Structure 1
Amino acid sequence: MACLLGGLWSFDFRKREYALLKPYLERVGVELIVVPARQMRINPLHVPKYTDPRNYASVLADGLVGVLDLPAKSARLLHLIILELYRQFSVLDGSQNYPTLFDVREAAAADKGAHAESRRALVTSLNPILASLHEVLRYRFAWTSEDLANLHLAFDFSGITDIEQNLLLNALLLREFRSRLDRGLSNPKMDLLVVCDEAARLCSRGDSSVADLIGAIRGTGIGLDLSVQSADLTRSILSNTPNKFLGRCASANDYDTIGAAMGLTTDQRRWLTTNLVPGMFVGCLGQGRTLRRPFLFRVPDLRFNSRNGLDQSTRNHVSNLFPKNQNPFE
């Protein structure tokens, strides 16, 4: 699929799996650029194209509160600080000399009249991030999501903390999602695929401005491939992801939650708990008369070797995996 798309964003948080695809994508003419986290140039306060800075200040403040795990009261303080910085840097008048998180930290520390707990929490949360990602976050005019959306990128976040990962991930996605919504795009051809393993940081229940936007970006040309380890998901994720795939889980609750969202019967869900094995999945697509019903399939053991890891032996065909008349999906 990568060769058919204008852009691909894949995110490695632990295992660096997507970076391994680089030589294989080159065979089909796709240049995958591996981007280490500490070589990025990101400014979360960089306003997306087509977006009003006043509107973005509110969305960004809510997002930072969730990413930095700040008290709810901090959202108002953060919103006011960002708006004031946009005014001071003439961003409200069209300037592209954007403030940075360093300016946010200094403004919060200097505002002695602000709510003490909110101010202290904001400064305390930003201090280690700014020290660790100084070379990443120091740019006033940073990489734009519009330019990155035309590239095939594997972001390597494996060497930074979870909070730093969440900050960079949310900064990238929030800007691109917001830009496309404000551009007023309506059902264009998909030109950007976002692939996120361990996507619970985007999909889990709780405050997440990106999760809120996922339901709104349908029809803007973005495809999302989100992999999670549990069913602790926001309702908007289940409602706005038409294609769902379920592999072996460790919890019966996960089978029940995702299975119900896929339209599985009680017997089918019970069967999955004891019969799924690694590499075997049940899928349900949002389009296609037959594929909208749950179906079983197996993914071959993709070993990256001279044969491209494709095992063509019959043991990989799902029809050979179950005794006759004992497969509830037939």
Structure 2
Amino acid sequence: MPLFLPFTDTEITTLLSPRAGEQKLGQTLQSFADPISTADQYVAGLQHAKNQGVRFVIIGIGEDIGPRANLGRGGAADAFNATMAQLLNLQSNRFLSGEQLLVAGQLDTTTIASESDLTTTNLRIEVEKLDELVINAVTPVFEAGLEPIIIGGGHNNAFGLLTAAKQATAKKIAAVNLDPHSDFRPREGRHSGNGFSYAAASGALGFYHVLGLHELKNSEQTFAQLEAFGGSWHSLQSIWVRQELSLNQALDEIVGILKDSQLPVAIELDLDAITNMPSSAATTAGIPLLDALRYVYRLANETGAHYLHLAEGAPQCHAAGVDAGYREVGQSVSELIFAYIQGRNACQYLG
């Protein structure tokens, strides 16, 4: 069975809208020539891409069983496709060359049951199977010295990503999560609301901070668990409502802690943090996309970031319909990817 669904020149050509005198990212980035069906092929393909100048590997995870296992809405399976339709048609120029990018494709999750009538218990069992797929797909990227950018699926996939990063670096991971929810809920079976609490219990998570946490969207039990672990947060209300500190002041604090920790850094972002973004748990009381871009850029630029994870985008949840959702999610995720890459390319942090 292929590790990834095919994403070759044929798929790129279908999405690309070329224009005379211009060079689009879809015309310059790399993809695998053939479906990847063995671990050896995958490792060889990653090494070849690195030798060709690739630094960032884009991986899609087309699933929404994690949010549904958390009693939430589906729709997070389409974020990768929405993003590719937009990202491939951005310009390849002096600010970003597509030659730095390898689009590995979307994980083949056909072995994971996704029927809508599965019980909550069975959905949580399937999420555990998905964890293994994610770990197997991302670990070789880290081992090749490349940086994964993961798009789509529920925030349950944070567990697999943190586990893979720890396996590859032999260090615990410091994660910062822009999210109204801490996703540090009880370990009652795997779902999108407890990826970080499971990662903490497994020893993969060494430090955890939530930026933009909503003060009324997290239970007292969750706050207690987070504090017991040593986790911290800046709430949405403290920055954007009460204005007790600015976003840049909060980021200054976070960056300082991350530098002192000298741990590899995971940049996590749940798209439902952004105002009215089509997502599994969309919110009207969120933050502007420009602030989310600032968050991604600063952490990418000033810390030892190892990956970017953009979770929960759900185009079909847009109030104006699927087409509008594809445009908004695709454009927003593309901007977040660009912010991460620019930050990393300009980064001089040596920790």
Same fold (TM over 0.5): no
Query: Rg bigger for which structure?
Result: 1
TM-score (norm 2): 0.30
